[in-house]
Amino acid sequence: MPGTHIACTMFKTSEPKIRVYFQHMEHGIIEKCYDSKHGWYDGAAKFPKVQPLTSIACTSYMTGSDTVGIRVFFNAANMVLEMVYDGMSWTEGHFHADCIPATQIACVSWMNGSRPDVRVYFQAGHEISAITEYVWTQGRWSSGKLALPPA
């Protein structure tokens, strides 16, 4: 889709791998994958259809020597949602939060012992244009900072 938002992440198991997410002409989000053995190929992620030019963000983390976790966040009807890859399959994540129309989304992750910590940032409408933070830690979502300094 012309003007699509693009998100990408890289992780290394036995070799570096790349995942790229973007919106196709029928308004779904698709996954493209790259590794040196296979080159580029279609990923297995199945995302719902969303409004055109939706914001997309992704992050990945290693939960074991060969096990990657991936989270993809996107805006669907003014709600930020997530899809989660646990190393075996994709599922709808537990994250959902209201956002302003056309918000941008950013996220970051790291390992905290054996569990991932994830932060996701977007405009939820607090103080009109402030950035809101949500936190995934110890296996659950919670509110972080509701209003980073207004944009």
Query: pLDDT tens, 19-50?
Result: 999 999 999 999 999 999 999 999 999 898 99
Q: Rounded distance, CA 76 to CA 79, Å? A: 5
- Residue 146's H or E segment, with its range, is none
Give the pLDDT band of residue 151 (cuts 50, 70, 90): low
Chain Cα centroid distance, residue 67: 17
Query: pLDDT tens, 93-139?
Result: 999 999 999 999 999 999 999 899 999 999 998 888 899 999 999 99
Residue 141 CA: distances (Å) to CA of 96, 117, 119, 146, 148: 10, 10, 9, 14, 18
Question: Domain map of the chain by residue range?
Answer: 6-143
Instruction: Report the topology of domain 6-143.
Output: Neuraminidase (2.120.10)
Q: If you search the block for the tokens 């060969």, which residue do you land on? A: 66
Predicted TM-score of the model (pTM)? 0.94
Q: Rounded distance, CA 22 to CA 120, Å? A: 18
Which tokens is 15 given?
Answer: 């070799």
Q: Mark 18-36 as b/e (b = at least 16 C-beta within 10 Å).
A: ebbbebeeeeebbbebbee
